[in-house]
């Protein structure tokens, strides 16, 4: 049986990635309303609130530990802050509120990676969980127990970009049940046959399983679509992604909103005008702009600013 240990909010830690660049991109304004879709430890939210003494913020997170920690950290800002325990895709699909700035810092947090009881990392042995909200859904252990070989192979290849997906999936299925992160990581290392790799052989497998059980890419696609619609005129959407699967979705969505690859009429003119512009055309690389933070080495910040026009955004992507 797997046990989930609640971590005290004071122990929650998360190193905000590309913090200065993100705040400069969002450029918080007086009386503006901002949405932090992935609250984490509240570092980005706190910086937004500090950037202007009159701006307000709504913070979201599916992780109850994050909500508890951010509630304590952001308490001094009183009525300027509202925190909601939910997924950002669900919130954005339900709200009619428009925002002057929206931030998505997608992926797993430092706290989740560094807390063994959460089961995200093979660097620390712990129960095989990986749920961003441990109160809902199947744990990774339960999920693996139910999945078929063909489906697991597809997920390791698609979400982990793992070239040896089939042999790893077969070893995982044959070794069931799995209870701990270390046992699963050791199995993957043996099955993969990788030697002298710069990264642990289980890195791509753990990423794929985590993405699958948390439905991360569907959440990102849905959330981005609605986030663009919820931008006020001149509003800014900033997104920090951490691997190529996420970044491809973000890049495609923001470029579409900015009019790149838009359908053209017989005269070569776009059928629909762009809804705004890209702020960082190629994105900002975390390894360059946030080199002091080890967790930023694979990060990329992309951003989009809506035009002053108030026409609704409809993306055919």
CA pair distance 34, 285, nearest whole angstrom = 24
Per-residue pLDDT tens digits for 148-171: 999 999 999 999 999 999 999 999
- What are the tokens at 247? 């970044």
Query: Which helix (H) or strand (E) covers residue 125, if one does?
Result: none
**Residue 223, beta-bridge partner list:** none
Question: Is 120's pLDDT higher than 70?
Answer: yes
Q: What's the chain's average pLDDT?
A: 90
Question: Is 1's pLDDT higher than 60?
Answer: no
Among 273, 246, 243, 279, residue whose Cα is nearest residue 102 = 279
Per-residue pLDDT tens digits for 8-53: 444 555 578 999 999 999 999 999 999 999 999 899 999 999 999 9
Per-residue pLDDT tens digits for 262-313: 666 666 666 566 899 999 989 999 888 888 877 788 899 999 999 997 566 7
**Residue 303, beta-bridge partner list:** 238
Looking at per-residue confidence, does 54 or 3 come out higher?
54
Q: Percentage of the chain surpassing pLDDT 90?
A: 75
**Residue 60, beta-bridge partner list:** 84
Contact 240, 106 (CB under 8 A): yes
Chain-centre distance for alpha carbon 63 = 12
Measured CA angle at 241 (ends 39, 25), to 5 deg: 70
Contact 188, 200 (CB under 8 A): no
- What are the tokens at 119? 């089961």
Question: Is 3's pLDDT higher than 50?
Answer: no
Looking at per-residue confidence, does 260 or 277 come out higher?
277
CA pair distance 85, 269, nearest whole angstrom = 44
Measured CA angle at 165 (ends 164, 166), to 5 deg: 100
Q: Percentage of the chain surpassing pLDDT 70?
A: 90
E-strand stretches of the chain: 33-36, 56-61, 81-85, 99-105, 231-241, 276-278, 284-285, 300-306
The pLDDT score that the predictor gives to residue 5 is 33
Residue 295 is classified by DSSP as G
Q: Band the pLDDT of 208: cuts 50, 70, 90.
A: very high
Query: Which helix (H) or strand (E) covers residue 43, if one does?
Result: helix 43-51
Helix (H, G, I), strand (E, B) or coil at 298: coil
């Amino acid at each position: 049986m797997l046990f989930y240990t609640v971590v005290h909010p004071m122990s929650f830690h998360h190193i905000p990635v590309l913090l200065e660049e993100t705040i400069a991109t969002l450029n918080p304004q007086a009386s503006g309303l901002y949405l932090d879709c992935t609250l984490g430890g509240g570092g980005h939210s706190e910086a937004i609130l500090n950037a202007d003494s009159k701006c307000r913020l709504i913070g979201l997170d599916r992780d109850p530990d994050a909500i508890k920690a951010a509630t304590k950290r952001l308490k001094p800002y009183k009525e300027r802050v509202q925190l909601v325990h939910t997924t950002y895709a669900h919130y954005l699909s339900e709200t009619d509120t428009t925002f002057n700035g929206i931030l998505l810092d997608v992926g797993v947090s430092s706290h989740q990676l560094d807390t063994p009881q959460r089961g995200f990392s093979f660097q620390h042995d712990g129960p095989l969980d990986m749920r961003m909200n441990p109160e809902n859904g199947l744990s990774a252990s339960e999920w693996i127990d139910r999945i078929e070989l063909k489906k697991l192979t597809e997920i390791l290849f698609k979400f982990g970009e793992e070239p040896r997906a089939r042999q790893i999936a077969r070893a995982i299925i044959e070794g069931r049940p799995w209870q701990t992160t270390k046992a699963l990581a050791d199995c993957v290392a043996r099955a993969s046959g990788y030697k002298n790799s710069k990264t642990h052989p289980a890195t791509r497998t753990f990423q794929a399983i985590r993405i699958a059980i948390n439905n991360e890419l569907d959440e990102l696609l849905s959330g981005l679509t609605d986030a663009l619609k919820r931008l006020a005129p001149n509003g800014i959407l900033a997104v920090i992604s951490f691997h190529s699967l996420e970044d491809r979705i973000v890049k495609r969505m923001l470029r579409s909103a900015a009019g790149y690859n838009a359908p053209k009429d017989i005269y070569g003119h776009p059928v629909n005008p762009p809804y705004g512009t890209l702020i960082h055309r190629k994105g900002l690389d975390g390894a360059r702009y946030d080199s002091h933070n080890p967790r930023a080495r694979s990060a990329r910040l992309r951003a989009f600013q809506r035009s002053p026009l108030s026409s609704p955004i409809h993306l055919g992507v």
